[in-house]
Structure 1
Amino acid sequence: MQIPQGKKIYFSSDNHLGAPTSELSLPREKKFVRWLDEIKEDAAAIFLLGDLFDFWFEYKTVVPKGFVRALGKLAEISDSGIPIYFFVGNHDLWMKDYFETELGISTFRDVKEFTFNNKVFLIGHGDGKGPGDKGYKRMKKVFTNPVFKWLFRWFHPEMGMRLAQYLSVKNKLISGDDDKKFLGEANEWLALYAKRKLEKKHYDYFVFGHRHLNMKIEVGENATYYNLGDWITQYTYGVFDGSDFELKTFEE
């Protein structure tokens, strides 16, 4: 993809809408919508790298209540012709096809390679990648198992949503939330994952979420790992203008 002159590609991650409650996350949702309104003026594409919701599950005819401002704005932008790409995170890993069928948003469940202006990107949420995080990796296999999802679907939505939202907040093993402390460049799991990927192929940029820490780490010659931070306290995002990638903070 060649980025048109004057256009940019935007990246954000980890909004966790609905946490700790729908009421308390509403101001963050409104702020996210204001950001979308601002960037749509020069966006060539928008990447959402997971955990947009603190919990999400799609029954055959039911989706979670709320988030209408964010979903409506995403639908408006998608309908305008700006492509939006969504990467499923560990908090919304039970997403099915709602974004694709209702909003026209391409949805991915693992990392994916993109090339913009001859710069090669590897993009994803980041959960379960790299060394460590073994407890979550085991739990993810259970929660993505079709049989487990089929069994959960038989819960009444009211009961199932309450249980899942409780576990999403209280059980750190299920949620996959790491201790949100910088581990040092030599120990950051996603940076180590990026270095391993570079052994087989060159990437100019690795862009991930999940860690809730905005960071930039040089992982090889002309290869950089970026983590986008979050939209809970930091309101950070990434932007690629066709030649350079930069982390920014949305300030009003």
Structure 2
Amino acid sequence: MMIKVPQNKKIYFASDQHLGAPTAEASMPREQRFVSWLDEIKTDAAAIFLLGDLFDFWFEYKTVVPKGFVRVLGKLAELKDSGIPIYFFVGNHDLWMRDYFEKELNIPVYHEPQEFVFNTTSLLIGHGDGLGPGDKGYKRMKKVFTFPFFKWLFRWLHPDIGVKLGQYFSVKNKLISGDEDAAFLGEDNEWLVQYCKRKLETKHYDFFIFGHRHLPLEIDLNKQSKYINLGDWIQYFTYGVFEDGNIGLKEYGKP
């Protein structure tokens, strides 16, 4: 997809807010901080990319979505209605998202990495879970949780039971959540770095933008290509900014 970025405009990226964890009360300050960031960037945003795990748990029944998150959903609706394009990539915590964002907020939802071109800059963008070598336990679990029959079974649980059960496992079970310990493993052991290098064997991208690792990372893959991980809004409060053909990380609250 091609996006023309006007002069003096920027494209913003953020991921891994995990709103709702470990409790709604505990995550409220993070939600308010994230909403404040959205409110600040609206003046010069050409587009906003949200790269998954906005919610720590999300499941869409036919007529029901999880309670809460009014502030962030209202702000996203306001920005989209004002004409700012917003793109959402599901993460491993909100992989059961269906069409609520598309119908209610007019925000497209992607379940796989997508190619974009900003003016002349090429990018591959996604959440990052289950990519590259390794992480076999999570990959098996993801196949189970995305299998239509199992989603159909879960939908028959009353929402009061289903959402509570999902929230419990999302917080407690790292195998299901797919979370990794947020420590840099070295380039040779970073699965997303290996994934990016393999992609470069067949096609060039100027930037690979992912979340999921909860670590702010900027790694040169070669002289023309860079891998960026957006970090999170739990510990780092980092986000990416595309400006004048380059992308860098910033921390919200710091100049």
Aligned to 1:21: 23
Aligned to 2:202: 200
Aligned to 1:179: 181
Could you tell me which runs of 5 or more consecutive residues in structure 1 were left unpaired when the two chains were aligned: none
State how far apart, in whole Å, the 1-side matches of 2:94 and 2:244 are: 30
Deviations 1:48-80 (A, max 9, x none): 000000000000010000000000000000001
Equivalent residues in 2 for 1:120-135 (5 A)?
120-135=122-137
Q: Is the Cα–Cα contact under 8 Å of residues 116 and 242 in structure 1 kept in the other structure?
A: no
Corresponding letter in the other structure for 1:40:
K
Equivalent residues in 2 for 1:1-252 (5 A)?
1-251=3-253
Corresponding letter in the other structure for 1:57:
F
Deviations 1:59-110 (A, max 9, x none): 0010000000000000000001100000000000000000000001110000
Secondary structure at the aligned position of 1:26 is classed as helix
| Displacement after TM superposition at 1:242 (Å) | 3.1
**TM-score, normalization by structure 2:** 0.98
Could you tell me which runs of 5 or more consecutive residues in structure 2 were left unpaired when the two chains were aligned: none
| Displacement after TM superposition at 1:220 (Å) | 2.1
| Displacement after TM superposition at 1:144 (Å) | 0.2
Corresponding letter in the other structure for 2:192:
L
Secondary structure at the aligned position of 1:220 is classed as coil
**TM-score, normalization by structure 1:** 0.99
Q: Percent identity?
A: 70
Secondary structure at the aligned position of 1:186 is classed as helix
| Displacement after TM superposition at 1:186 (Å) | 2.0
- After the TM superposition, which parts of structure 1 deviate over 2 Å for at least 4 consecutive aligned residues? none
State how far apart, in whole Å, the 1-side matches of 2:223 and 2:153 are: 48
Corresponding letter in the other structure for 2:148:
P
State how far apart, in whole Å, the 1-side matches of 2:97 and 2:109 are: 9
Alignment: residue pair count: 252
